Amino acid sequence: MKKIRNVIAFLVAAFALLFTGSQVFADTTGTITVQNASKGQTYTIYKLFDATVGSNGAIAYTLPSGKRADQVSTYFDVDTAGNVTAKGGLDVSTNAFKTWAEGFGTIVGEPKTATSNTVTFDNLGFGYYFIKSSLGAVITVDSTNPNATINDKNTTAPSIPDGDGGKKILVGGSATDTTTAKVGDTVNYQIKF
């Protein structure tokens, strides 16, 4: 009977070790998806800081290898342990921050040109990222959520496929830019992109 108890105890301990040890093999890469991307525009991603996630879920940002605290002092504070925190009131939409981020950050992978309204960057190590589009907008991602989705606020005029495209008024089945109408008349129109 003692042998059976010992075998069962051993199996329970082995399973517990197996399942608690499996966290060591957890994925440490993520994906950033840019929604509302402007077709034909180029998106470049820069990694500014590395990120580690503690056992309690706390996120710590640290300087990448080869970077110094004085290089980030305008926008971020670095403590004696090397942890990076944003200064109060940081505005990442300023041209000065964009210029700094492009100079300080490391480009990750190749820039991507949007072929649809979604651009995805995958196999990214956890970190603080800056995404630049060729339209000039900036998107900063500071979450270690493995699958972050962000919305690009860029707006570009849609491409109009032919001369009858865009917003037109229909008069007798033909598209036109102008017409006259009285109050109460029905005015047909088309929007074509």
Pairing between β-strand 59-62 and β-strand 83-86 as defined by DSSP bridges: antiparallel
What is the mean pLDDT of the segment spanning 22-31?
Answer: 59
The CATH 2.60.40 domain(s) of the chain lie at: 27-151
Q: How far apart are CA 86 and CA 100, in angstroms?
A: 14
Q: If phi over 0 gives left and psi between -120 and 50 gives alpha, with beta otherwise, what is residue 187? A: beta
pTM greater than 0.95 (yes/no): no
CATH number of 27-151: 2.60.40
Phi, psi of 12 (to 5 degrees): -60, -45
pLDDT tens figures, 113-157: 999 888 999 888 888 889 988 776 656 565 556 778 887 876 666
3-state DSSP of the chain: CHHHHHHHHHHHHHHHHHHHHHHHHCCCEEEEEEECCCCCCEEEEEEEEEEEECCCCCEEEECCCCCCHHHCCCCEEECCCCEEEECCCCCCCCHHHHHHHHHHCEECCCCEECCCCEEEEEEEECEEEEEEECCCCEEEECCCCCEEEEECCCCCCCCCCCCCCEEEEEECCEEECCCCCCCCCCCEEEEEC
Structure tokens at 168: 């037109």
pLDDT tens figures, 15-24: 443 334 334 4
pLDDT of 27: 57
What size, in residues, is the chain?
193
Task: Indicate if the pLDDT at residue 74 is higher than 90.
Answer: yes
Q: If phi over 0 gives left and psi between -120 and 50 gives alpha, with beta otherwise, what is residue 109? A: left
Structure tokens at 95: 């041209």
Q: How far apart are CA 119 and CA 109, in angstroms?
A: 13
